[in-house]
Structure 1
């Protein structure tokens, strides 16, 4: 039996993961937000046994985390703990989808062993959730893989994120407006993330943690240039030159461990990923 529970199944990654894993022969059990609160034990008792759990459910909009930090901690940490208790009861392998937790990096590229320096309440909730995962693996002998995703992008991403914001302006406006042109990020395309999850399901290590990124970084200015090239536009770019508090100026993932142990290699460079993203947005425009 290859039955997988996907929490957060209606989110950006979750909804594409459902179709992706179905196409790879898995039977999917969904746990969308509408089903209820993942912190409630009674809800987990009603879920049928599965072989695998991919845990995506989390409150993740960073600006909200500053205003509702205790709610983020409760939902993300307690929700993860409830999921792990369910997985322990049913002997289900867990893929815990985490995030960038390194703060301002001391060295680039960033290895998994880099100190964790969460710089917002959302990141703090993910660090604590990872520790709960580590504890369960060590003391309850659970099979758990953690994937630290860098900047995921692709079709279906919420319009408030950088790449869809720029694409939408490029397709609909007479100019492109952003806060700051300088910060660089490691952007990883959604289909590469789905493949990393699939390979993690097949992996047999009891506990492992991997960076999932592209291994390269691009500034906001470079992203705009590449999007304009694909859209065949030359719109003026206006930066308000607002530097966010605690801004991180460059991020590059060291993905050598995932390459070595998961046999995972990104298949989409930025140009290819942006082309697919823009084509999808044009289709539904």
Structure 2
């Protein structure tokens, strides 16, 4: 069971955060529109759901001495299609409006820390998966089609991604909060540190589920300038938390398929 929590519903884009809202010890800003589309018309919505929300939260809590750490979420997509494994100090090369706006919020966060001492950090997650994920995301889509015996229309799926299970991700975030004093002004990758091809995931899921679905590799093209091996270094995460981090994604995927 979950502890009782107090909730407040606000439009963080257009509404000011009330001054009488209590200041928390930690802010974990998960608000965002997430998309891998290359459509340039997405910029307005992405800026509203990312940069404006960050700045609204900053304006309300910038002078609150009780705030220990603000976690802003970037994305491993910020690194683009450069050579992996990606390290936090690497030059970003975003390939989509979403990744570019995430880079903008990352740079804004670092500016707020450097110029004003705002206690903020940026977490760059790997590719998350787990229960209740939107069904149009890769792993839920694959599992849903396979369980229904329906065909999968996918790209050639040779591209590799660095996946992390949501429970492992949450534990990593908890460890960062416990070490908040080491996190101020930092960018930290939170992922498994290993990459796996999308084809391997499909074949593993198909075998585990004994599915008769046809997999139509190449039915869809790769995205423009798609990163073919997106893998993040987690050396900084290990250094901050003091743990030798290892995430067993194969076991996590097997457990996920049993749900």
Which structure has more helix as a fraction of its residues?
Answer: 1
1:230 counterpart = 2:219: no
Higher relative contact order (CA 8 A, sep 6+): 2
Counterpart residue number, 2:253: 274
Instruction: Confirm or deny: 8 A CA contact 2:12 2:56 kept in the other structure.
Output: yes
Cα 1:243/1:87, change in 2 over 3 Å: same
Counterpart residue number, 1:13: none
CA-CA distance at 1:94 after TM superposition: 0.5
1:197-276 aligned at under 5 Å gives the runs 197-203=173-179, 204-205=181-182, 206-233=184-211, 235-239=213-217, 240-264=219-243, 266=245, 268-276=247-255
Counterpart residue number, 1:154: 130
CA-CA distance at 1:67 after TM superposition: 2.7
Unmatched 5+ residue regions in structure 2?
none
Instruction: Confirm or deny: 8 A CA contact 1:182 1:220 kept in the other structure.
Output: yes
Instruction: Confirm or deny: 8 A CA contact 1:179 1:241 kept in the other structure.
Output: yes
1:157-168 aligned at under 5 Å gives the runs 157-168=133-144
**Of the candidates 94, 102, 112, which is equivalent to residue 126 of structure 1?**
102
Counterpart residue number, 1:38: 12
Deviations 1:32-89 (A, max 9, x none): xxx2321235235353221110011112223386332122113311110111222323
SS in 2 for 1:243: coil
Aligned length: 253
Aligned Cα root-mean-square deviation (Å): 2.2
CA-CA distance at 1:257 after TM superposition: 0.9
Cα 1:273/1:66, change in 2 over 3 Å: farther
Question: C-alpha separation between the residues in 1 aligned to 2:146 and 2:214?
Answer: 10
Unmatched 5+ residue regions in structure 1?
1-17, 281-285
CA-CA distance at 1:221 after TM superposition: 1.0
TM-score by length of 2: 0.88
1:70-219 aligned at under 5 Å gives the runs 70-91=44-65, 92=67, 93-100=69-76, 101-105=78-82, 107-203=83-179, 204-205=181-182, 206-219=184-197
CA-CA distance at 1:195 after TM superposition: 1.1
SS in 1 for 2:146: helix
Instruction: Confirm or deny: 8 A CA contact 1:38 1:44 kept in the other structure.
Output: no
Instruction: Confirm or deny: 8 A CA contact 1:166 1:224 kept in the other structure.
Output: yes
TM-score by length of 1: 0.81
Cα 1:236/1:28, change in 2 over 3 Å: same
SS in 2 for 1:90: coil
Instruction: Confirm or deny: 8 A CA contact 1:170 1:231 kept in the other structure.
Output: yes
Question: C-alpha separation between the residues in 2 aligned to 1:234 and 1:215?
Answer: 32
SS in 2 for 1:145: strand
Instruction: Confirm or deny: 8 A CA contact 1:65 1:72 kept in the other structure.
Output: no
CA-CA distance at 1:28 after TM superposition: 4.7
Instruction: Confirm or deny: 8 A CA contact 1:95 1:200 kept in the other structure.
Output: no
SS in 1 for 2:11: coil
